[in-house]
Structure 1
Amino acid sequence: MNRFHVRKVAVLGAGVMGAQIAAQLVNCKVPVVLFDLPAKEGPKNGIALRAIDNLKKLKPAPLGVAADAALIQPANYEEHLDLLAGCDLVIEAIAERMDWKLDLYTRIAPALNPAAIVASNTSGLSITKLSEALPQSIRPRFCGIHFFNPPRYMSLVELIPTPATMPDILDQLESFVTTAVGKSVVRAKDTPNFVANRVGIAGMLATIKEAENFGLSYDVVDDLTGKKMGRASSGTFRTADVVGLDTMAHVIKTLQDNLKDDPFYASYATPAVLGKLIEQGALGQKSGAGFYKKVGKDILRLDPASGEYVKGGAKADPLVDRILKKPAAERLKLLRESSHPQAQFLWAILRDSFHYVAVHLHDIADSARDVDFAMRWGFGMKQGPFELWQEAGWAQVAQWVKEDIDAGKALSSAPLPAWVFDGPVAAAGGVHRSEGSWSAATARWVARSTLPVYARQHFPEAVLGSGAAAPLKSGTEEFANDEIRVWSLDGEVLIASITAKLHLISPAVTEGLLKAVEIAEAKYQGLVIWSPDDVFSAGANLESLLPVFMKLGAKGIAPEEKKLQDAMLRIRYAQVPVLAAMRGLALGGGCELAVHCARRVAHLESYVGLVEVGVGLIPGGGGLAYIARRAAEMAAAGNAKADLLQFLTDGFTSAAMAKVATSAIEARASGWLLWDDVIVPHKDELLFVAIAQAKAMSASGYRPPHKALFPVAGRNARATITGQLVNLRDGGFASAHDFHIASLIADVVCGGDVDAGSLVNEEYLMTLERKHFCGLLEHPKTQERIMGMLQTGKPVRN
């Protein structure tokens, strides 16, 4: 298969979805043109320009850094159709009106690049019907591409072919969307609402109905159907508010209009409360009210009986909470047998979901794996419905569901399909096994895609029961203790995986990292620090040092702190390249570990910063020494050696205010990532790219940097910063303890009580770090902050 080169993408439609798709493309360095109608007044690109400007204001932020909005090229259909000739991919994302879409296709068809792929970002309209408006020559290159909202943060993209779509076109688009845009693809059939929305919206409707049946309030339902069930924290009704009640109603109408023969058709009725809210203009979060309404700092919930908003915040009963923590088989049994209405409600919605996906698998998806992945990636579930069913005991759960159907308790009287009880699935105890997942349409096990793009994913996300390799049990192990594993996949590059909770850095982790460097220098081309989840490292493990502190006080911590600092320098000056493969949280000590590596390979969604002030400390693992050294390097590069303060300001501010970069792009702008570091759009390609980078650096004759002296800003710069801090303290913007901590940070990054331009080394600055770090440990206000964080997980402001 030839590589699909995308020089530029056109997005047609500058609405909420179109603009945010364009933003994600820019995040991933893909040039993009955003089209909309010509404005009736002012600049003809006015509609697109306003949409681009609005991207800077949206929360959660669709752009890695707001300034990148300028990289989106605005256009309108009247003046700029010629720009389509330079676009290799055209994504239509206008309103969900079949007539509008068909009219637009007719208009753009003559201007399209003859080799371009054309795709519609519809959430449920028939892709085949849409294709009929296109010339015969374009139809083989047309398909559906359904991004989930918000496109930056939701993993799922559904690709939907028509009967005329060429297989190679879909393969090319899947490869591009995966590697270049960082999305996880499910191929869906051209059925109403495709896979995720078909199952997800049916599930939300069932939840609304069962909540009414059992008399549960919306806040209790959201608490039950959120994190406690391994689903998105927003639960059901808050999710509806975020999506938009009008959007939800549109998706429901698609079900109503197109599925009149569906055995679950009666359950697709628009809930009365939803219809009433829409009639009143209460469309959810975008209109300020829906199932919930924010009044000041209070979140009120709708009382459907009175139609008024009342105090919210009610939680699940502790009894049900305890049940939800049980293993799957026991959990479902207890929920089904309990007389508690909340437990009965949960069993009912789970039963409804098992029933629904089993009946519809034949029509909506190529395999059960596609259903489970769609619900994980599109609705934030930790497990898809088939996975939970299989884990809880396939035969037993199937029997329970059958009994409820026979008793008239289910949403539909449709029986479970025969394959549930007889044949390969029943014999295997579920729909997922090592050779693939069950396809009801073809009555066989379907293996995962073998597209070349997936060779870049050493440990792709897998469904329960598939027998996928566990990363921390794979490869050849070189060293391990309770908190770190040092291993290799290929015998050429070593991997260090921190296994402690939140990958906190303790003395055991430090020991393991030092051992990893030693082994890598002796036997390998490089070392990659990587762990297979959404945390690189959340910082130092303060709790592990408590026994030492209780026995010896701060003087007992100083040697441990020096060991950590020495380990950072050992990593920086290792004889082989050490790379940080970052994903998710890289905070405090995790940030310090990353900046001391030879290179960083970061997933787009990396959150990086020095946050120690939150526990009343200063960074103590070389983070402040790094800020001072980078300021000197930047000043030298800009030929401004005499004025270091301007290069220190951003680093000092980040550390003193515990500012966290909320994307890898922002981390690069903040100085935690450098311009030769690599940002990877897809989380599962992170290890592949990091290993490749390590080998390339080794093959290029990597040598560590020279240990060199560098200038610091000195006492005058420290006095300037301290004067600004006094104003913040006296103006009530900082507490006395915050002022004290920030003053110590300023002392370190400026080099202490020395003249401007004095030459120092990293060890000197780390000695200052260590002195102030240990001094703060003795401070009562810092001790309050540390204990508060350990006990509640939340920062104490004092």
Structure 2
Amino acid sequence: MSRFNVRKVAVLGAGVMGAQIAAHLVNCKVPVVLFDLPAKEGPKNSIVTKAVEGLKKLKPSPLGVTDDAALIQQANYEEHLEELRGCDLIIEAIAERLDWKEDLYKKIAPFVNDKAILATNTSGLSITAMANVLPEQLRSRFLGIHFFNPPRYMYLVELIPTQYTDATVVDQLEAFVTTAVGKGVVRCEDSPNFIANRVGVAGLMFTMIEVKNFGLGYDVVDDLTGKKMGRASSGTYRTCDVVGIDTMAHVIKTLQTGCAADPFAAAFAMPADVQALLDKGNFGQKTKAGFYKKDGKAIFQFDLKSGDYIPGGNKADKEVTDILKKPAAERVKLLRESSNPQAQFIWAMLRNAFHYAAVTVEGIADTCRDVDLALRWGYGMKQGPFELWQQAGWKQVAEWVKADIDAGKAICSAPLPAWVFDGREGVHTAEGSWSPAKKTYVPQRDLPVYKRQFFREDVFGSGAVDAAVAGKTLFEDAAIRLWTLDDEVVIASIKSKMHTISAEVTAGLTKGLELAEAGYKGLVIWSQDGPFSAGADLQSMMPAFMQGGGKAIAPFEKALQDFMLSLRYSNVPSVAAMHGLALGGGCELAVHASRRVAAMESYVGLVEVGVGLIPGGGGLAYLARRAAEQLEPSKGVSGQTGGDLIGFMKEGFQAAAMAKVATSAIEAKKFGYLVDGDVIVPNKDELLHVAIAQVKAMYESGYRAPAKKLFPVAGRSAKATLQSSLINMRDGGFISQHDYHISSCIADVLTGGDVDYGTLVSEEYLHALERKHFCSLLDNPKTQERIMGMLSTGKPVRN
């Protein structure tokens, strides 16, 4: 199948979802035109203009950088329908009214080119009903596409074909959404609320019923149902406040309307506390009151009985949280057998989830895998219901669920399907996942696009290859694994928690580079799970520091800096494959590689100020060198004020001094941590494929390391200029005296210390300045307070 070539996408409807879908397409460098109705007064595009301006104010930002809002082409249905002829994908995202959609489809039909795909972003209406009102020539190229809110951050996209949809069209759109838009695709049956919201919202309703049954407070429930259960940290009720209780009520009503024949329908009645909050106009975070209300630093929770807010902040019982740390089989058994109401509540939650998923899967999904992935990607669950059930022991759990149904303890009396008890050990196997409709195991779709995902995300029990043991191991210890998939490129995977950098990790990376230089085409630094690297491993430094103070850390810093330079000046290419956090030493590691391949959601920055230190792995030397490189060659270093270089280094200085973190790979390029030639990859699961391809391309192109040379620094006068701005911030109370001291150290390194403007220096010279200040700060009691605070609480201390 050839790649579906999307020259431009049209989004019809500039509401909340339409505008944010357009924003994410811009993030992914996909040209987009955003349509809405012509304004009755003023400029015809006013409705779209207002929506685009609104994108700049949203938090979290739907845009990688807010300036890119200007890349959204604005249009209206009266003047610009001709623009549709050049669009290969049209996403309709107007209000959920079939008559309005029918009118729009008739209006646009003459302008849709004969190969374009038309998709509707709906979460409630029947896709088939919409297809039936379409002009006949569009039906085979029409299907549902359901982005989750917010589209930039939510990984799940559901695709819903109809009986008319051409199979090739579905494959083309899945490939585009996967690679170009960076999403995980699940195909759904055309059933009410599709998969994720059908099972997820039903699960929410069941949870609220059990909360009432067991008399628990919202605070305790959220403590139980967040990270302790492998779910989103906001838990149940705080998530409702964030989403909006009015929005949640709309979804509940959709469930009630669309699922009237569902055997669990009686459980979809509007909860009394939700209705009470709706009546009060307390819609959650947007109205500053919902299930919770904040008063100063105190958090209160809604009390249905009094209709007022009462103190919150209670936590789950320790005996229950201890149970939740156990392996799945032991955990589920202990929860079911415990007499603690909180444990009984969680067992009831799990039982209801297993029960509902088993009863409904045949009508909403092709396989049990689709249900699990939809819940993981759309609701932030670590495991879907079928995965946990299988891991906990399929047969035993099935008997427990049946016993509760028979005893009248379950939400619904509908029996588990017969296939649950056919002797199976689960629904996920190496052969595929169970399809109740087809009565067989169905493997994952093998579209060409998935060849780009070496370690494609799959479900428990599928036997998917684990990157930790894949390929051929070249070297491995507790700190790092060096391995290869193809005997051409060395892959270095850091194994420490959060992939922090210790002396052992540095030694491992050095060994990886040596292996690459000895007989491979290059080196890729990549780890499958977790962040790229959260920075230096401060804990590992403590023994040496306790014995010899700051000077005892100097050899570690020197070894790290030396590796960074050996990486930069190696004659084999290297690629840092970045995803998630790349902070401190992780950022320094990335900028010294030959190239960076970064997932869109990469958060990059030099944040050492937070622990009272300066970057010590060559990060400041990198910023100083980059500033010199950006000077116009014809301008040179004329002048005596240092103003030329300051103009280029100011943003880097502010980022390091204020510990600013780029909130996307696009913004990291603006900060200078990514440069022209680096690659931003929308889908994190394609990072390794692209990184290896980049190494091979550089190697085959005759890669040579950059020439090592001296470069000019801005000198003492520039340092004084930078310090004057710090003095104003200190005296204005914006930074502390210790912040001022640390930032002055950063300024000293960036400007080259006590030298004249234009003095030529080497990276090693600036590294020595970095080490001097880094080790001196380690001996400072204020820095020690910050380090100990971070190690003990995980939060920065300001002093």
Aligned to 2:641: none
Q: Report the AA paired with residue 449 of structure 2.
A: V
| 1:521 and 2:517 are equivalent in the alignment | yes
Q: Tell me the SS of whatever aligns to 2:468.
A: helix
| 1:720 and 2:716 are equivalent in the alignment | no
Task: State the Cα distance separating 1:522 from its structure 2 match.
Answer: 1.0
| 1:572 and 2:568 are equivalent in the alignment | yes
Question: Gapped runs of 5+ residues in structure 1?
Answer: none
| 1:492 and 2:488 are equivalent in the alignment | yes
Aligned to 1:639: 635
Q: Tell me the SS of whatever aligns to 1:432.
A: coil
Aligned to 2:582: 586
Task: State the Cα distance separating 1:465 from its structure 2 match.
Answer: 0.6
User: Is the Cα–Cα contact under 8 Å of residues 263 and 414 in structure 2 kept in the other structure?
Assistant: yes
Q: Report the AA paired with residue 186 of structure 2.
A: V
Aligned to 1:290: 290
Aligned to 1:216: 216
1:354-393 equivalences under 5 Å are: 354-393=354-393
Task: State the Cα distance separating 1:634 from its structure 2 match.
Answer: 0.5
| 1:113 and 2:90 are equivalent in the alignment | no
Distance 2:86 2:370 in 1: 34
Distance 1:105 1:281 in 2: 36
Aligned to 1:658: 659
Cα distance, 1:215–1:276 mapped onto 2, change above 3 Å = same
Distance 2:276 2:78 in 1: 40
Distance 2:778 2:238 in 1: 42
- Post-superposition Cα deviations, 1:480-522, rounded to whole Å, max 9, x if no partner, equal 1111000000111110000011111011111111111111011
Greater shift in the superposed pair: 12-21 or 621-630? 12-21
Task: State the Cα distance separating 1:64 from its structure 2 match.
Answer: 0.5
Distance 1:399 1:368 in 2: 19
Aligned to 1:556: 552
Question: Which of 431, 436, 456 is the matching residue for 2:427?
Answer: 431
Q: Tell me the SS of whatever aligns to 2:752.
A: coil
- Post-superposition Cα deviations, 1:429-459, rounded to whole Å, max 9, x if no partner, equal 1000101100011110010010000000000
Distance 2:783 2:633 in 1: 38
Cα distance, 1:395–1:706 mapped onto 2, change above 3 Å = same
- Post-superposition Cα deviations, 1:203-236, rounded to whole Å, max 9, x if no partner, equal 0000111111111112221111111100011111
- Post-superposition Cα deviations, 1:303-346, rounded to whole Å, max 9, x if no partner, equal 11111122322221222111111111111111111111111111
Aligned to 1:241: 241
1:113-132 equivalences under 5 Å are: 113-132=113-132
Q: Report the AA paired with residue 663 of structure 2.
A: T
Aligned to 2:163: 163
Aligned to 1:459: 455
User: Is the Cα–Cα contact under 8 Å of residues 481 and 508 in structure 1 kept in the other structure?
Assistant: no
User: Is the Cα–Cα contact under 8 Å of residues 498 and 530 in structure 2 kept in the other structure?
Assistant: no
| 1:188 and 2:177 are equivalent in the alignment | no
Aligned to 1:505: 501
Task: State the Cα distance separating 1:587 from its structure 2 match.
Answer: 0.2
Q: Tell me the SS of whatever aligns to 1:178.
A: helix
Cα distance, 1:420–1:227 mapped onto 2, change above 3 Å = same
User: Is the Cα–Cα contact under 8 Å of residues 55 and 61 in structure 2 kept in the other structure?
Assistant: yes
User: Is the Cα–Cα contact under 8 Å of residues 158 and 188 in structure 1 kept in the other structure?
Assistant: yes
Greater shift in the superposed pair: 43-52 or 751-760? 43-52
Greater shift in the superposed pair: 68-77 or 36-45? 36-45
Q: Tell me the SS of whatever aligns to 1:73.
A: strand
Q: Report the AA paired with residue 777 of structure 1.
A: L
- Post-superposition Cα deviations, 1:601-642, rounded to whole Å, max 9, x if no partner, equal 000000000000111111000000001000000014573534
Distance 1:583 1:146 in 2: 25
Distance 1:272 1:11 in 2: 38
| 1:348 and 2:348 are equivalent in the alignment | yes
1:219-234 equivalences under 5 Å are: 219-234=219-234
Greater shift in the superposed pair: 306-315 or 758-767? 306-315
Q: Tell me the SS of whatever aligns to 1:302.
A: strand
- Post-superposition Cα deviations, 1:60-113, rounded to whole Å, max 9, x if no partner, equal 111000111111111111221111111111101112222222222222222222
| 1:538 and 2:534 are equivalent in the alignment | yes
Task: State the Cα distance separating 1:297 from its structure 2 match.
Answer: 4.2
Q: Report the AA paired with residue 784 of structure 1.
A: E
Task: State the Cα distance separating 1:115 from its structure 2 match.
Answer: 1.5
Aligned to 2:308: 308
Aligned to 2:742: 741
User: Is the Cα–Cα contact under 8 Å of residues 632 and 641 in structure 1 kept in the other structure?
Assistant: no
Distance 1:584 1:774 in 2: 29
Question: Gapped runs of 5+ residues in structure 2?
Answer: 639-643
Task: State the Cα distance separating 1:296 from its structure 2 match.
Answer: 4.1
Distance 1:625 1:254 in 2: 57
Q: Report the AA paired with residue 331 of structure 1.
A: R
User: Is the Cα–Cα contact under 8 Å of residues 158 and 188 in structure 2 kept in the other structure?
Assistant: yes
Aligned to 1:19: 19
Distance 2:791 2:103 in 1: 60
User: Is the Cα–Cα contact under 8 Å of residues 585 and 607 in structure 1 kept in the other structure?
Assistant: yes
User: Is the Cα–Cα contact under 8 Å of residues 276 and 304 in structure 2 kept in the other structure?
Assistant: no
Question: Which of 599, 603, 607 is the matching residue for 2:603?
Answer: 607
Aligned to 1:648: 649
Distance 1:15 1:176 in 2: 23
Distance 1:395 1:152 in 2: 40
Q: Tell me the SS of whatever aligns to 1:331.
A: helix
Distance 1:41 1:237 in 2: 42
Distance 2:246 2:232 in 1: 21
Distance 1:277 1:488 in 2: 57
- Post-superposition Cα deviations, 1:110-164, rounded to whole Å, max 9, x if no partner, equal 2222211000000121000011121111000000000001101100000000000
Task: State the Cα distance separating 1:724 from its structure 2 match.
Answer: 1.5
Distance 2:362 2:624 in 1: 62
RMSD of equivalent CA atoms: 1.2
Aligned to 2:594: 598
Q: Tell me the SS of whatever aligns to 2:33.
A: strand
Aligned to 2:410: 410
User: Is the Cα–Cα contact under 8 Å of residues 533 and 583 in structure 1 kept in the other structure?
Assistant: no
Greater shift in the superposed pair: 95-104 or 635-644? 635-644
Cα distance, 1:79–1:299 mapped onto 2, change above 3 Å = farther
Instruction: Report the TM-score, using the length of structure 2 for normalisation.
Output: 0.98
Aligned to 2:139: 139
Distance 1:336 1:789 in 2: 38
Aligned to 2:175: 175
Distance 2:340 2:566 in 1: 58
- Post-superposition Cα deviations, 1:358-411, rounded to whole Å, max 9, x if no partner, equal 011111111010000000000000000000000100011001000000000111
Distance 1:470 1:638 in 2: 53
Q: Tell me the SS of whatever aligns to 1:433.
A: coil
User: Is the Cα–Cα contact under 8 Å of residues 616 and 771 in structure 2 kept in the other structure?
Assistant: yes
Identity across matched positions, percent: 68
Aligned to 1:448: 444
Q: Tell me the SS of whatever aligns to 1:697.
A: helix
Task: State the Cα distance separating 1:285 from its structure 2 match.
Answer: 2.5
Cα distance, 1:297–1:46 mapped onto 2, change above 3 Å = farther
User: Is the Cα–Cα contact under 8 Å of residues 38 and 44 in structure 1 kept in the other structure?
Assistant: yes
Greater shift in the superposed pair: 41-50 or 456-465? 41-50
Q: Tell me the SS of whatever aligns to 2:64.
A: coil
Distance 1:729 1:241 in 2: 38
Cα distance, 1:640–1:11 mapped onto 2, change above 3 Å = farther
Greater shift in the superposed pair: 403-412 or 92-101? 92-101
Distance 2:80 2:279 in 1: 39
Q: Report the AA paired with residue 658 of structure 1.
A: A
Task: State the Cα distance separating 1:648 from its structure 2 match.
Answer: 1.0
User: Is the Cα–Cα contact under 8 Å of residues 524 and 691 in structure 2 kept in the other structure?
Assistant: yes
Distance 1:605 1:640 in 2: 37
- Post-superposition Cα deviations, 1:6-64, rounded to whole Å, max 9, x if no partner, equal 11111111111111111110000001111111222222111111111111111111100
Aligned to 2:262: 262
Cα distance, 1:258–1:560 mapped onto 2, change above 3 Å = closer
Q: Report the AA paired with residue 582 of structure 1.
A: M
Cα distance, 1:439–1:572 mapped onto 2, change above 3 Å = same
User: Is the Cα–Cα contact under 8 Å of residues 611 and 655 in structure 1 kept in the other structure?
Assistant: yes
Q: Report the AA paired with residue 569 of structure 2.
A: Y
